[in-house]
A = this chain, B = another copy of it.
């Protein structure tokens, strides 16, 4: 598959006025070809096609839409090593990581195909008529979830495959029956185009309307803003910075018809280290902490950016072990010069902060755009008195907050903003304390995990990758896992309508064979 730099509007390749190029962050070199910047005209064309495609795509038989998702996975596989090589050049991420991410991307698409076929995502609910009920008869009521309409997806820089063009947001939106218009991330436009061409090939093979998918490369905020403002777009999926997410939320809320924005934005992912665990295995945990913190140069939404623990010799041992590990961990390649610049600025600010102690710095990188790891420490008082210390520094930087007692630990937790994850590191003797702390953490996060590290995010039914504001703009949802489909659905009730007028899933003969709740009780087909 050729990378041409085109704008992919439905089945058409378009060109624009200005162009931009990708940069290899490991070398600082500019990569060919040049990519055309999508314009408001392209946004308009893509949204018009998406709106046109919507009724057909929404009403597809479940199996047809499921097969389409599987076909996208196959087309991505068919891109072969070209995809991996280009993604390596554009992201600086290593081969093994990108091969794993490709597997995850394909797995997500197939998982949503299975979700589609299983059918409980529609939440089919039937209250049969009660014609003889007094004083008033009950009508026949049938409810199911339906697609919202065309969805705008903004890819993330740190997952050029799994959270970009055909990543989690796109997979869940397509599964729901929503056409997708992707605003491509400018850090990996070639990777994006390859995947977009794979999706387009699947659209064509399935004989679907071309408007089911469009891909708009570009570098400007104006492009993203025009897409979110388009009246035909009915929801937005975004993974990125807090500033970027909030800007889209604002545009969406000021439309004549406001729409939901699912922005996954920022999180420091607090880790609470309990006393017995610190005493029994502080040194080992310190090493594991650095491994999680520096993985992928710390460029994960769920990076452990904050450790909370009781001050004293056990914590000192944890810190010493972490410092030793950090000293031996090479600097990590970052995704873009801009991300590296922000990281360095954030770390320098913490290092210069009067109330912050530098516990350890990793080795200085040998190449360009490499993250020199950093571990800082502060007292609970200092942490509580300056909100900046609780803000995310995207990359392998973390701060240890030393509390005098568990009450202070609780106070720190109560002062935290919403988080994607919260972690408890504990031994059996800690369990009573853990039982007190976990509800406080659950109140402020989407996932609470025990004796592990938050950087692994399983794609499954029970996963929640979400959390209260500002971790996300809508804490009622998840962007990873099968529940993500719910973001792009709304319920509709049909009352006293004959079978031939009803959506198939609501008809008497239940042609899809989905489980349905009838008069309050779940029934299998």
Given known A258-B473, A461-B125, A469-B258, contact A435–B492 (CB-CB < 8 A): no
Which of A25-33, A363-371, A395-403, A451-459 lies on the face that meets chain B? A451-459
9 extra A-B contacts, CB within 8 A, seeds A100-B135, A127-B461: A138-B460, A143-B464, A257-B469, A438-B494, A438-B501, A450-B501, A464-B493, A515-B522, A522-B522
State whether the Cβ of A284 lies closer than 8 Å to any Cβ in chain B.
no
B-contact 0/1 string along A85-117, CB 8 Å cutoff: 000000000000000100000000000001000
Q: Does A74 contact B (CB under 8 A)?
A: no
Interface string of A262-277 (1 = CB under 8 A from B): 0000000000000000
Q: Considering only CB atoms, which chain B residue lies closest to A473 in the complex? A: B258
B449–A497 touching, CB < 8 Å: yes
Contact B435 A260 (CB under 8 A): no
A478, CB-defined interface residue at 8 Å: yes
CB-based contact A141/B501 at 8 Å: no
Contact A462 B500 (CB under 8 A): no
Residue on B with the closest CB to A255?
B469
Give the complex CA separation of A229 and B407 in angstroms: 29
Residue of B nearest to A436 (CB): B501
Determine, out of A183-191, A200-208, A287-295, A483-491, the stretch whose residues face the partner at the interface: A483-491
A143 touches B456 (CB 8 A): no
Q: Does A356 interact with chain B (Cβ within 8 Å)?
A: no
A497–B461 touching, CB < 8 Å: no
Q: Which residue of B lies closest to A515 (CB)?
A: B522
Q: Is the CB of A138 within 8 A of B458?
A: yes
Query: Can you spell out 7 A-B residue pairs with CB atoms less than 8 angstroms apart?
Result: A143-B464, A446-B490, A449-B494, A450-B501, A452-B496, A464-B492, A475-B490
- By the criterion CB–CB under 8 Å, are B501 and A491 in contact? no
Q: Are B141 and A458 in contact (CB under 8 A)?
A: yes
Interface residues of A in 478-520 (CB under 8 A from B): 478, 483, 489-498, 500-501, 515, 517, 519-520
The reply to whether B522 and A458 form a contact with Cβ atoms under 8 Å apart is no
A456 to B490, CA, bound (A): 22
Contact of A493 among B462, B495, B501 (CB under 8 A): B462
The listed residue with most B CB atoms (<10 A of its CB), out of A434, A446, A470, A520, is A520
User: Are the C-beta atoms of A439 and B59 separated by less than 8 Å?
Assistant: yes
Separation in Å of the A91 CB from the closest CB of chain B? 21
Q: Give a binary string over A117-139; 1 marks a CB under 8 Å from any B CB, 0 the rest.
A: 01010000111000000011011
Bound CA span A470–B496, Å: 25
Chain A residue total in the interface (Cβ 8 A):
77
Asked whether A142 is an interface residue with its Cβ less than 8 Å from the other chain, the reply is yes
Task: Give the chain B neighbours of A118 by CB distance below 8 A.
Answer: 520
Task: Specify the chain B residue showing the minimal Cβ separation from A487.
Answer: B476
A466 / chain B contacts, CB cutoff of 8 Å: 490-491
* Pick from B55, B462, B495: contact of A452, CB under 8 Å: B495
Residues of chain B with a CB closer than 8 A to A355's CB: none
Say whether, besides A127-B458, A462-B125, A497 and B438 are in contact (CB < 8 Å): yes
CB closest chain-B residue, reference A449: B495
The B-contacting residues of A in range 423-471, CB under 8 angstroms, are: 424, 431, 434-435, 438-439, 442-443, 445-452, 456, 458, 460-464, 466, 468-470
Q: Which residues of B contact A490 (CB under 8 A)?
A: 446, 466, 468, 475-477
Contacts of A495 on B, CB cut-off 8 Å?
A: 447-450, 452
A47 within 8 A of partner (CB): no
Decide: B143 and A492 in contact? CB cutoff 8 A.
Answer: no
Once the chains are docked, how many angstroms separate the CA of A347 from the CA of B337? 63
Say whether A18 faces chain B, with CB atoms less than 8 Å apart: no
Given contacts A476-B490, A491-B478, contact A434 B501 (CB under 8 A): yes
How close is A150's CB to chain B, nearest CB, in angstroms? 12
Report B-chain residues with C-beta under 8 Å of the C-beta of A434: 501
Give CA–CA (A470, B255) in the complex, Å. Answer: 12
**Per-position binary interface string of chain A over residues 408-434, scored 1 when its CB falls under 8 Å from any chain B CB and 0 otherwise:** 000000000110000010000001001
- Confirm or deny: A253 has a beta carbon within 8 angstroms of a beta carbon on chain B: yes
Given contacts A258-B469, A439-B55, A462-B127, contact A447 B138 (CB under 8 A): no
Please report the C-alpha to C-alpha distance between residue A59 and residue B446 in the assembled complex, in whole angstroms: 17
Contact B458 A139 (CB under 8 A): yes
Q: Are A497 and B138 in contact (CB under 8 A)?
A: no
